[in-house]
Amino acid sequence: DAKTTQPPSMDCAEGRAANLPCNHSTISGNEYVYWYRQIHSQGPQYIIHGLKNNETNEMASLIITEDRKSSTLILPHATLRDTAVYYCIAKKTSYDKVIFGPGTSLSVIP
C-alpha cells in the first residue's frame, strides 16, 4: 500500500470548514483513498473513501487531485465533536491490512 503523509496537527474554529490534507504521491491506480477518525478512547470510525472522483456523504467531502497524488478531507461545518485524530490511508481493497500512520490531530476550537 502507498505511504501517506499528513500534518501532525491542525486547529479549526467551530462552525468553519476543516480541510485536512493528505499526500499519497506513490499511490497506484487501483488503490483507494480512505479516511478514518478516532475520537479519544474509541475505536476508529470510517468517514469516506474514493478512487479518483470526488466523493461526498453526510459526514464529509473528499477531494482527490487529478493526478491522485494528494487529497483533502473537508468537514464543512466543524463542531467540537469533530475533535479527533484523522487518518488517511491508501489501499486496494478493504481486505488489505491497514498500517496506520500518526494521522492528523484536529482540534476544533470554540
Which positions lie near other proteins, rule CB under 8 A?
A: 32, 34, 36, 38, 41-46, 49, 85, 87, 93-95, 97-103
Q: How far is the CB of 100 from other proteins (least distance, A)?
A: 4
- Residue closer to other proteins by CB (options 51, 109) is 51
Taking the complex as a whole, the smallest distance from the CB of residue 32 to other proteins amounts, in Å, to: 7
Q: How far is the CB of 88 from other proteins (least distance, A)?
A: 12
Q: Which is nearer to other proteins, 93 or 110 (CB)?
A: 93
CB atoms near residue 26 (< 10 Å): 12
Question: How far apart are CB 19 and other proteins at their closest, in Å?
Answer: 22
Q: 14 vs 32, which CB is nearer to other proteins?
A: 32
Phi, psi of 79 (to 5 degrees): -120, 170
Q: Which DSSP string do the residues of 34-91 spell out, in sequence order? A: EEEEE-TTS--EEEEEESSS-EE-SS-EEEE-TTSSEEEEEETT--GGG-EEEEEEEE
3-state secondary structure of 18: strand
Compute the residue count for the chain.
110
Which amino acid is it at 4?
T
Nearer to other proteins, 73 or 87 (CB): 87
